[in-house]
Amino acid sequence: MRNEQEVLAQLLQLAERDDRIRCVVMNGSRVNPNAPVDFMQDYDIDFYMTNLGDHPYNTDRSWIEAFGERVVVQYEYFEDGSSIYMMQFKDSVRIDLSFKDIGSIQEVYQDSLSKVLLDKDDLDLKLPEPNDSSYLVQKPSRYLWDVHIVELWWLQVCIAKELWRDEIPRAKNLYDQYFMESLRFLLEWHVGANYDWKVNVGTAGKWFKRFLEPDIYEQFLSLYCGADPEEQWEKLNQAGELVRRIGVPLAAKLGYDYPADEERNVTEYVEKVRRLPRDAQSLDG
């Protein structure tokens, strides 16, 4: 397996050979002093170049071969002409390489995890030492709080309807994607408040284990479930317990309102739907 110095040398060699590539910037976990270190960390690299619409890397992809044997490569092209190659190699090296217009170089100031590796034009960007200040959990506005805390009860009604209809793919879509996303927001804010809003929990809460209380973390993980309807009913009920456990004290800490009436009404409604026979014509059965 190649080490970091070898991989960066390969990337810089490619950049130095091409006059169109004027600046190389690395960002992401490899420049984050607070990120866990392991051999699978991605290399997030931006090539800033002139004549962006005229470069050959998107049409002739033989250049990828110099980086090793591929497992899979994902490519994405954007409206501004930039593109990204997400490349996984057999020795476990993963490189996400973006090609961007040099005219957008000022965007590096928007990402505190930016480190210049090559500057052919002496731009002297004067970036601060990489830090994760751009990724700290932000205290929610009252509006954002209201949106997600009510969403956590609103979605339970929607999920209950789909479970009663035996439309499991839609129920799982609502629960796994939308409900769990709002729950992650709630847990992020819980952690943020506990750490004085100076904490980064990682994408989709991937570092929750480092910052959540162990019992809360285990309770959160236990809410993930399969496609069995009865299991999903149980997890929906348990999820409500976690929302209440975190939401009530957090609302008080933030100085916002907790939707106690919605919680009570939704809990009663969901339980009524759960008891309905499949051939019911109304909530009365």
- DSSP secondary structure, the chain, as one string: ---HHHHHHHHHHHHHH-TTEEEEEEESGGG-TTSPP-TT--EEEEEEESSGGG-STTT-GGGGGGG--EEEEEEEE-TTS-EEEEEEETTS-EEEEEEEEGGGGGGGGG-SSEEEEEETT-----PPPP-SGGGSPPPPPHHHHHHHHHHHHHHHHHHHHHHHTT-HHHHHIIIIIIIHHHHHHHHHHHHHHHTTT-----GGGTTHHHHS-HHHHHHHHTT---S-HHHHHHHHHHHHHHHHHHHHHHHHHHT----HHHHHHHHHHHHHHHHS-TT-SSTT-
Q: How far apart are CA 86 and CA 44, in angstroms?
A: 9
Distances (CA, A) of 10 to 13, 58, 64, 202, 254: 5, 19, 11, 28, 49
Q: Collect all residues with Cβ–Cβ distance below 8 Å to 242 and sequence separation of at least 6.
A: 183, 216, 219, 220, 223
Sign of the alpha-carbon dihedral angle for 163, 171, 160, 236: positive
121, 23 Cβ separation under 8 angstroms: yes
Q: Would you say the C-alpha torsion 270, 275, 281, 285 has a positive or negative sign?
A: negative
% residues pLDDT > 70 (the chain): 100
- Residue 153, Cβ density class (10 Å: 0-12 exposed, 13-18 middle, ≥19 buried): buried
- Residues contacting residue 9 through CB under 8 Å, at least 6 positions apart: none
Residues 216-230 pLDDT 10s = 999 999 999 999 999
> What domains does the chain contain, in order, with CATH numbers?
4-134 (3.30.460.10), 136-275 (1.20.120.330)
pLDDT digits (tens, 9 = 90+) for 113-132: 999 999 999 998 999 999 99
pLDDT of 208 reads 98
Confidence class of residue 273 from pLDDT cuts 50, 70 and 90? very high
pTM for this structure?
A: 0.91
pLDDT at position 120, please? 97
Mean pLDDT within 159-187: 97
Q: Residue 246: its pLDDT value, please?
A: 98
pLDDT band at 279 (very low <50, low <70, confident <90, very high): confident
Pairwise CA distance, residues 149 & 258, whole Å: 8
Residue in the block written with tokens 């505190």? 112
